[in-house]
Amino acid sequence: MTLRLSTTDADFEARFQALLTAKRAEEEDVDAQAAAIIADVRARGDAAVLDYTARWDRLTLSAAELRLSDAEISGVADKADPRALAALEIAAARIRAFHERQMPGVIDYVDDQGIGLGARWTPVQAAGLYVPGGTAAYPSSVLMNAIPAAVAGVKRLAMVVPTPDGVMNPLVFAAARLSGVTEIYRIGGAQAVAALAYGTKSIAPVDKITGPGNAYVAAAKRRVFGQVGIDMIAGPSEILVVADGANDPHWIAADLLSQAEHDPSAQAILITDDAAFADAAARAVEAELAGALREGTSRASWTANGAIIVVRHLDEAVPLVDAIAPEHLELAVADPDALAAKVSNAGAIFLGRHTPEAIGDYVAGPNHVLPTSRTARFASGLGVLDFMKRTTLVRCDAAGLAAIGPAALTLAEAEGLPAHARSVAIRLNVR
């Protein structure tokens, strides 16, 4: 039964904390299995990847068939529905335009002591882009992963996408072509992550792996971090809608279910300052669920993980939002900008009654790969900087070293590092 809370309840704090700490992901021990798969791929390379692909994707390949040729990519991409392709082109242009604005500038200056200081940004050399397949294929995920990498200047983009039973989604490959991705492997799961991280005879290793996947993919990314960089550990989808009573309850219900339909472990939460609207929204969710194409998944999510919270006033919602730190936050209120200014923790914020979260999934421009599981407290959505590295620059001449060297010498001695001190002192001719 969907959780119903009110801040006026005597036990609100305890029940709210229980909501925050509830486990939504499946409890099966996927980490041990992911570790075993990674070890196998490191030991057997292509052979292990091919075995797992045959077992789980029901697709028997040779090592030479792991990578799709340019002709194969074009052959699949050319089958994309023209109307859907046109929409994908709109999305790609908007995503590219937004991410181009994220490019950082160079820092280069000389301070008052004559020390030249600066920082430059360079792209990683190779990025591995994980695109989900299986029960659902997401061409939008191709755009969201590949375009920021391309804008950053990454020279090699290696995409992995599972193709169970050999079925390939034309829009996924059209999205890859739009994004400039030409290196595509028809593999997925923990084995794909391991291959990207450590390399095989057929798949060269990368420097960073990004993109969402299932629990095995998440566990594998956690395991290979350090060997390669990763964007984040993605958990089940989330949406938190803050709505006042002036909304159409069916609009809000549709927004809640837009994330609930992803997965039974997904979470949709409504916070409102109007108890009557809370009742109306609950009824609207039931009406929207009836006969929905993904009713089973959505109902399981809403029943097990959904929540409706009634607050006395909208400002009371702010600390609740920050505690939940949702992946997606909709502010369907009269003055969304004022409320958004008070919120610290959210992956992405959607302002106003006419801004459903789904707009952000596809065509708004900002990235839809966002922090989940309360990690928006310290993490951000995927962007250009995730594919870049910052290198600092320092330049001293003799006068500059004379100005700041003695302080460095004193600190090195205080830390008991005589060779550090010597490297400064020898240039200052003090010993």
Judge whether 237 and 269 are in contact, CB under 8 Å. Answer: no
Residue spans of beta strands (DSSP E) within 167-278: 183-185, 208-210, 229-230, 238-243, 267-272
Which single residue is written with the structure tokens 């549709």? Answer: 254
Judged by phi (left if over 0) then psi (alpha if -120 to 50, else beta), residue 166 lies in left
> For residue 174, what are its two tokens?
């059209």
CB neighbourhood size of 288 (10 A): 20
Kindly name the residue from 327, 330, 357, 368 that is annotated as catalytic.
327
Q: How far apart are CA 287 and CA 327, in angstroms?
A: 25
Is 286 marked active-site? no
Judge whether 282 and 248 are in contact, CB under 8 Å. Answer: no
Contacts of 141 by beta carbon, 8 Å cutoff, 6+ apart: 131, 132, 211, 212, 368, 369
Is 357 marked active-site? no
Kindly name the residue from 261, 328, 330, 368 that is annotated as catalytic.
328
Contacts of 366 by beta carbon, 8 Å cutoff, 6+ apart: 98, 348, 360, 381
Which single residue is written with the structure tokens 């009654």? Answer: 353
3-state secondary structure of 8: coil
Residue 96 CA: distances (Å) to CA of 304, 369, 374: 37, 15, 28
> For residue 9, what are its two tokens?
């309840």
Residue 300 CA: distances (Å) to CA of 2, 24, 46, 295: 10, 12, 38, 8
Q: How far apart are CA 43 and CA 52, in angstroms?
A: 14
Q: Which residues are marked as active site?
A: 327-328
